Structure 1
Amino acid sequence: MTAPGTPAGRAEQGRAARQRVRRSEHARWAAPLDRPDPVAVLERQGRDRLAELLPIRYGRMAATPFAFLRGAAAVMAADLAATPHTGLTVQLCGDAHLLNFGLYASPERSLLFDLNDFDETFPGPFEWDVKRLAASIVVAARENGHPDTKAGRAAREAVAAYRTAMRRLARLGELDVWYMRIDTEQLLPLVRSARDRHRAEATLGRARRRTSLRAYGKLTEVVDGRRRIIHDPPLLEPAGVADMASLRKVFSDYRSTLSEERRLLLDRYRFVDAARKVVGVGSVGLRCFIVLLTGRDADDPLFLQIKEARQSVLEEHLPGGPYTHPGHRVVAGQRLLQAASDIFLGWMSGPQGRAFYWRQLRDMKGSADVAGMSPGDLLAYARLCGTALARAHARSGDRIAIAAYLGGSDTFDRAVTDFAVAYADQTVTDHTTLGAAIAAGVIAAAPGV
């Protein structure tokens, strides 16, 4: 009997998980007869959101099947919960689709590539993130006009990259895994043609320019001699008197969740203005604000975003997690999954006990233009996302057990690819269902906003 806790014992536990779920079983997807109606799932999510913004959410989701998938994390969470799982737990991103990976600045001002959305983060079986990533690749590839052979190959390469990265990480020491990161020097070699390299370099350049100072010029104006956030309804509206008072009041609560040296840094900034902002697709309707602060002078701005945190879409399907405060859950999950996190990341409770988390609005953030990718580019990007996801999971889960479960063959890769193709079909069906509900007047949608 191999001693538990040793590398050999942990690998044995991973191989034993194949008795619970064979790797080939991950290929299965067929909607169960009692599957919840996807529109009903979305409506239930929207009950405590800002009702006037929900048509924007539905309008954005109705645009394409990929847009629907982006906003339907709750639908897919319920579907994944209906399938067998390995029991090999990691800190899940919870919403690991292609557009939730991207560029951002480390505290040392290096440009890194990593996961960048953690609203749904929660401990759960590692394969749920892998399956959502793979399904998003197939849906995106189809929308780009790629045949299913190439869409499936891109998904399979992402899963293979995850598996091979996890096996490599399983051989490394704890600190080596913790300090592992993907920087921009590792990105450009993936680009083949001169045209695509130019496009990639342009993406990196735009990310480097996306700073608070850049946002200052775009998002503010001078009104009666005072700098104010612009009025661009319904996407950006100045905070009302009550909201402004609440934001000022909870600012000190947020400050208390930062480390001492970061509190000192934050104290050097002055609160100037705040506005309500609409962000994303699935997040539309959640309470979200941006706050303008200035430091040394008016030319030293800092934008922070305050976003409402709710129960993760995974929580009703999994055992309880370690955090009772949703904002704390998001912040802790981000710090655990990302190679380096925003120095102003923090959390607090607001009016009516609502949970929020804070971060910088723009800190050299950027994302790939997935819609414009050729099959070759999507293949390379899929590999990169699979590698980044494995690095994130290895920080919180038992990478040795997961690597042993995955093994050296492509059995898991092929199975998840089959799932991804089947779930991409399901996404098209669900997207059509949403469109029918909008056409029938069951729900209101505001397209193009």
Structure 2
Amino acid sequence: MTTPGRSDRQAILEASRTRKMARSAHAYVRGNTATFYDWLRAGPHAPRVPDGPAIWICGDAHLGNLGPLAAGDGRVEIQVRDLDQAVIGNPAHDLIRLGLSLATAARGSDLPGVITARMMEEMVQGYAAAIADPTSGNPGVEPDVVRSVKRQALGRRWKHLAKERLDAVEPTLPIGKKFWALSKEERDALEGVFADPSVAQLILSLDHKDKDRRVRVVDAAYWMKGCSSLGLLRYAVIVGLENARGRSDYALVDLKEAVAPVAPAYPGVTMPSDNAHRVAAAARALSPHLGSRMIPVSMLDRTLFIRELA
């Protein structure tokens, strides 16, 4: 199967994004953050949106951006997994966005209206309970489905991810529908990123077996992933953690371009001006399991952030 060159990617990615959003109202809401905020500003209820405190918000709090995240020590919690749109803004925007995502998901599943109403009630009650415990953010009650998802995540290993996403346990990325071949310029740029001592330290800090290791790029590809972010630079990289005896463990690393958010920030707030640094700062504030595994980098005259996928 042939893969597109860099000049052909944009049209293919835009067509894929359009097809994804056409599947359902839920998919459309998920993939069109900018339109959501246009609706919010132009709708009849815009003046009634309450002003909350100026805090870090996800900015794109739909269902697909919530899920299990592992910390460096192996603990797993349900946290926000995508902070591309994160700003210091109005937390009411996150609640409205998540509520809309829940409502469209319920409608797409043919659930009765009373279920949607119950979901909205539980969402608000859970948020209020978490706000009442600002130290741990623990709402006090963990639903069975959350415990189930965390148990599944705790049992995940490299071989499981490789079997599902890479079609083999061998550390290679299958070039095809999801992973596209790199140009020489992209490959050289990625090699340069992982030669940076600060990037190598991030990867090694998550390896508790042997600190005396060398980080090397084993394989890399352009990664066609996501919906609203399709069209941005995104790469999957398999790195080897090689010890003095030549034995390697492997890690899957995600590099994603950071761009200016469409989510509105409060006027006068102080945030990092660089978008990758903004995303990393938001991750440390909102999703510490993710923030501890993220670092901003520059590549091909763009600003990106690296995430080690535990």
What TM-score comes out, normalization by structure 2 length? Answer: 0.81
Q: State the distance in 2 between where 1:241 and 1:74 align.
A: 34
Identity %: 25
In the alignment, structure 1 residue 103 sits paired with structure 2 residue 46: no
Residue in structure 2 matched with residue 279 of structure 1 by the alignment: 225
How far did residue 242 of structure 1 move?
A: 1.4
Q: State the distance in 2 between where 1:258 and 1:130 align.
A: 36
Q: 1:238 to 1:134 in 2, by over 3 A?
A: same
Residue in structure 2 matched with residue 291 of structure 1 by the alignment: 237
Q: State the distance in 1 between where 2:135 and 2:181 align.
A: 41
How far did residue 125 of structure 1 move?
A: 1.0
User: Following superposition of structure 1 onto structure 2, how do residues 41-56 of structure 1 map, counting pairs within 5 Å?
Assistant: 50-56=10-16
In the alignment, structure 1 residue 164 sits paired with structure 2 residue 164: no
Whether the 8 Å CA contact 2:90–2:266 is kept in 1: the answer is: no
Whether the 8 Å CA contact 1:216–1:301 is kept in 2: the answer is: no
Q: State the distance in 2 between where 1:104 and 1:182 align.
A: 18
Counterpart amino acid of residue 242 in structure 1: E
Show CA shifts across 1:195-252 (max 9, x none): xx7x974x44542344444334552669xxx95321123x211322111001112334
How far did residue 277 of structure 1 move?
A: 0.6
SS of residue paired to 1:95: coil
Residue in structure 1 matched with residue 305 of structure 2 by the alignment: 357
How far did residue 56 of structure 1 move?
A: 0.4
Counterpart amino acid of residue 247 in structure 1: L
Q: 1:304 to 1:123 in 2, by over 3 A?
A: same
Q: State the distance in 2 between where 1:159 and 1:94 align.
A: 17
Count of residue pairs the alignment pairs up: 290
Q: 1:257 to 1:315 in 2, by over 3 A?
A: farther
Residue in structure 2 matched with residue 89 of structure 1 by the alignment: 54
Residue among 216, 236, 242 paired with 2:185: 242
User: Following superposition of structure 1 onto structure 2, how do residues 95-244 of structure 1 map, counting pairs within 5 Å?
Assistant: 95-166=60-131, 168-169=132-133, 177-180=134-137, 187=142, 190-191=143-144, 201=148, 203-217=149-163, 218-219=165-166, 228-233=172-177, 235-244=178-187
Show CA shifts across 1:62-112 (max 9, x none): 100000111111111233345234152110101111221111212221121
Whether the 8 Å CA contact 1:89–1:123 is kept in 2: the answer is: yes
Q: 1:329 to 1:81 in 2, by over 3 A?
A: farther
Q: State the distance in 2 between where 1:221 and 1:355 align.
A: 31
Show CA shifts across 1:158-185 (max 9, x none): 112212332x22xxxxxxx3445589xx
Q: 1:116 to 1:205 in 2, by over 3 A?
A: same
Counterpart amino acid of residue 290 in structure 2: S
User: Following superposition of structure 1 onto structure 2, how do residues 346-425 of structure 1 map, counting pairs within 5 Å?
Assistant: 346-351=295-300, 353-361=301-309, 363=310
Counterpart amino acid of residue 172 in structure 2: R
SS of residue paired to 2:296: strand
Residue in structure 2 matched with residue 395 of structure 1 by the alignment: none
Q: State the distance in 2 between where 1:97 and 1:254 align.
A: 35
Residue among 53, 56, 64 paired with 2:24: 64
SS of residue paired to 2:290: coil
Whether the 8 Å CA contact 2:234–2:254 is kept in 1: the answer is: yes
SS of residue paired to 2:214: coil
Q: State the distance in 2 between where 1:108 and 1:221 align.
A: 26
How far did residue 310 of structure 1 move?
A: 0.7
SS of residue paired to 2:251: strand
Q: State the distance in 1 between where 2:137 and 2:193 align.
A: 35
Residue in structure 2 matched with residue 384 of structure 1 by the alignment: none
Q: 1:298 to 1:307 in 2, by over 3 A?
A: farther
Whether the 8 Å CA contact 1:213–1:302 is kept in 2: the answer is: no
Q: State the distance in 1 between where 2:91 and 2:239 align.
A: 39
Residue among 276, 287, 302 paired with 1:338: 287
User: Following superposition of structure 1 onto structure 2, how do residues 252-271 of structure 1 map, counting pairs within 5 Å?
Assistant: 252-253=195-196, 255=198, 262=205, 268-271=214-217
Residue among 179, 186, 194 paired with 1:251: 194
What TM-score comes out, normalization by structure 1 length? Answer: 0.58
Show CA shifts across 1:322-377 (max 9, x none): 211111111110111114335431111111x211000023x2xxxxxxxxxxxxxx
Unmatched tracts of structure 2, length 5 or more: 1-8
Show CA shifts across 1:254-311 (max 9, x none): 8269679839959632211110111122122211101111113565111100011111
Whether the 8 Å CA contact 1:257–1:346 is kept in 2: the answer is: no
Question: Rg bigger for which structure?
Answer: 1
Whether the 8 Å CA contact 1:239–1:275 is kept in 2: the answer is: yes
Residue in structure 1 matched with residue 251 of structure 2 by the alignment: 302
Q: State the distance in 2 between where 1:253 and 1:311 align.
A: 25
SS of residue paired to 2:94: helix
SS of residue paired to 1:228: coil
Counterpart amino acid of residue 226 in structure 2: G
Which structure: greater helix fraction? 1
Which runs of 4 or more aligned residues in structure 1 lie more than 4 Å from their structure 2 counterparts after TM superposition? 179-183, 256-261, 263-267, 315-321
Q: State the distance in 2 between where 1:327 and 1:54 align.
A: 23
